[in-house]
Structure 1
Amino acid sequence: MKTERLLAITMILLEKKQVSASKLAEMLEVSVRTIYRDINSLSEAGIPVTSSPGVNGGIQIMENYKVDKQFFTSTDITSLLIALESLSNNVSPLRINQTFEKIKTLVPANFLDEVEFKTNQIAIDLTPWTSNHTLQPSLEIVKSGMDQARLLRFNYEDNQGRKTARIVEPYRLVLKEISWYLQAFCTEKADFRTFKISRMIDLELLPTPFASRDFHPKPLGKEPFYGKDFTLTTLKVTHKIKDQLVDKFGQLTISPSDEPEKWIVEFPFMEDEFGYNLLLGFGNQCECLTPPHVRTELKRRIETVLELYQNS
């Protein structure tokens, strides 16, 4: 990933006086073109990286530029390592291990034990309970497309079941809750589009390179929940559902119910498919008490499902 690569380039250049672009490309398993783009990114970030042409030329950091290892505290390094650990199930173990070792070179020897102890105190596991292991090869292909600035081709099936063939310029991978998405420029639509990785079929990396466009990342999916109009509903839920609602939507107004081990929750309800499917998914552990029209619609949907099974 680009952030890891930029850090790796910086550490390599700090350790060595001068390195050729081709050597950096070989070490980091990317194209020379990608290395030059990364060098421009480092320069824009304020790191004085220079390059000299010729047989004896190469890329280097200006002699008077120094990075004090004490600039990073043990807490800073711990945060970096924990963040990398959270990616370990989605990035190849080899890449993670290499990055770990590079970051540890920033830590003075007398702080290594402290950093390792603090890193082991927090674990972030972003993998779902039921994981789709077939996604990993697709993620690697997409990452290669971004690293090498090469086109991707795949067949795509949207949430309505419509199938299309796409060729795209990949720009950004996004993990949203438990799903991965690609933000890319679609050559067919001549515009930026977002694609769900699990809906890509026959994904392949083409040999065709592309020139990077001016890409501005956009928020993925719906607007924040509380930024929309909603209907205030009153729900009677079990303790388990109460906890799930608080985890997903934050603090809510909650009071004890007249039934043991049940709670009354004032819930800001979105009257769309997502909202109704959410409440129906709680089964008999959640009852909508008010408003009447939401309760009536839930009953209608339940009856439709019941009819489906009664007729089979």
Structure 2
Amino acid sequence: MKTERLPAIIMILLDKKQISASQLAEMLEVSVRTIYRDINSLGEAGIPVTSFPGVNGGIQIMDNYKIDKQFFTSSDITSLLIALESLSNNVSPLQLNQTFEKIKTLVPTQFLEEIEFKTNQIAIDLTPWTSNQTLQPFLEIIKVAMDQHQLLYFNYEDNQGKKTSRTVEPYRLVLKEISWYLQAYCNEKNDFRTFKVSRMNELTLLSTKFEPQKFQPKPLGKEPFYGKQFTMTTLEITHKIKDQLVDKFGQLNFSPSSNSEKLIVEFPFMEDEFGYNLLLGFGNQCECIEPQHVRTELKRRIEHLLELYQE
């Protein structure tokens, strides 16, 4: 929406000093014509944005321009602070504090108390229940590499246990549920690849610089829910795991079981390792009633597991 693009354009211009209309259009996923209309709107609003033609030209904002404190509403600032707070365990404290202070300078004094009150009403904690001691240092190294366009080297173990060594050009960090992923160009594979940060070892920032290539962000298409065929199963569950199913799969149809302490739910089941491990992970809080072939496979896996502990 236009009302969302205009503040974004101002922030980009204040950060990059000068940028072409085509680059802005690509970043904001709109046409060049739309960008020029937005620039005209900013000019009409009294914001000194100018454009220069030619190879070295582009769009820029006057060097001595500062954002009017009334440009952002208290709701805008509250949203920014809540978003920053959610990253507090993945961004260095010094960097985060500096950002907080800069944003607070945009707030009229009379609104500071109100905004702090609203910010404390919502808390977003993205940290896992158990901490990974190497995660934060790795994220810092990756962010430096992306910022300075430096190559990264690391040893990597995939989900099949295969170990390789990689040298990559880092382009993007992605937080998916509780896991961090690095999207990068792999020099060994001569192609873009996605790497799970928790599977990296001996991560090293190399002194070698690289010239950034054109990078097109992609969703994590190899995640379990993409392109999978679902089998509708009937589960009998306890109330203890109802919220876990809703968190992962949204609102499902629950009905009382003949056992008054349990529930019946129609569940979209994936017949792969992820799906079977998910159901087995619920232990005796979940029983598959049908279809029969899924129930039979679960019993086979349980018997195989039992054999491990009988030796």
Q: For residue 17 of structure 1, what is the aligned residue in structure 2? A: none
Letter in 1 for 2:280: L
In the alignment, which residue of structure 2 is the partner of 1:153? 153
Q: Specify the alignment match of 1:71 in structure 2.
A: 71
Partner Cα separation in structure 2 for residue 144 and residue 120 of structure 1? 31
Structure 1 283/41 Cα, relative in aligned 2: closer, same or farther at 3 Å? farther
Matched residue, 2:233: 233
Query: How far off its partner does 1:71 sit?
Result: 2.1
Match of 2:62 in 1: 62
Q: Distance in 2 between matches of 1:184 and 1:238?
A: 43
In the other structure, the counterpart of 1:180 is 180
Tell me the TM-score normalized by structure 1. Answer: 0.81
Aligned length: 272
The one-letter code matched in structure 2 to 1:167 is: T
Unaligned segments of structure 2, at least 5 residues: 1-6, 25-38, 40-47, 53-59
Alignment check: 8 A CA contact 1:82 1:124 kept: yes
- Residue equivalent to 2:271: 271
- The answer to whether residue 137 in structure 2 is matched with residue 171 in structure 1 is no
**Structure 2 CA distance for partners of 1:41 and 1:186, relative to 1, 3 Å:** farther
Q: Is the 8 A contact 1:50 1:62 kept in 2?
A: no
After superposition, what is the alpha-carbon deviation per residue over 1:3-24, rounded to whole angstroms, capped at 9, x for unaligned? xxxx9xx78x97xxxxxxxxxx
Question: For residues 93-242 of structure 1, what are the structure 2 equivalents within 5 Å?
Answer: 93-222=93-222, 225=225, 228-242=228-242
Distance in 2 of aligned mates of 1:164 and 1:156: 5
Q: What do the CA deviations read for 1:141-199 (whole angstroms, capped 9, x no partner)?
A: 10100011100011111111111111100000011111111000001111000111111
> How far apart are residue 50 of structure 1 and its match?
8.9
Q: From the superposition, tell whether residues 127 and 246 of structure 1 become closer, same or farther in structure 2 (CA, over 3 Å).
A: same
Q: Equivalent residue of 1:225, what SS?
A: coil
Matched, 1:254 2:270: no
1:246 aligned partner, one-letter code:
V
Which deviates more, 248-257 or 227-236? 227-236
Give distance in 1, aligned partners of 2:227 and 2:221: 13
2-side partners of 1:275 and 1:114: how far apart? 46
* Residues 1:101 and 1:233: Cα distance change in structure 2 (over 3 Å): same
Structure 2 Cα separation of the partners of residues 283 and 49 of structure 1: 64
Query: % of aligned pairs identical?
Result: 75
**Residue type of the alignment partner of 1:253:** N
| Residue pairs, 1:274-289, within 5 angstroms | 274-289=274-289
Residues in 2 aligned to 1:63 and 1:206: alpha-carbon distance in whole angstroms = 35
Structure 1 unpaired stretches of 5+: 1-6, 15-34, 52-59
Q: 1:213 to 1:80 in 2, by over 3 A?
A: same
C-alpha distance in structure 1 between counterparts of 2:271 and 2:18, whole Å: 48
| Residue identity in the other structure for 2:193 | R
Residue 86 of structure 1 pairs with residue 92 of structure 2:
no
Matches within 5 A, 1:29-68: 38-40=16-18, 44-45=23-24, 48=49, 61-62=61-62, 67-68=67-68
Question: For the Cα contact (< 8 Å) 1:42–1:49, is it kept in 2?
Answer: no
In structure 2, the CA distance between the partners of 1:49 and 1:304, relative to structure 1 (3 Å rule), is farther
| SS of equivalent to 2:263 | strand
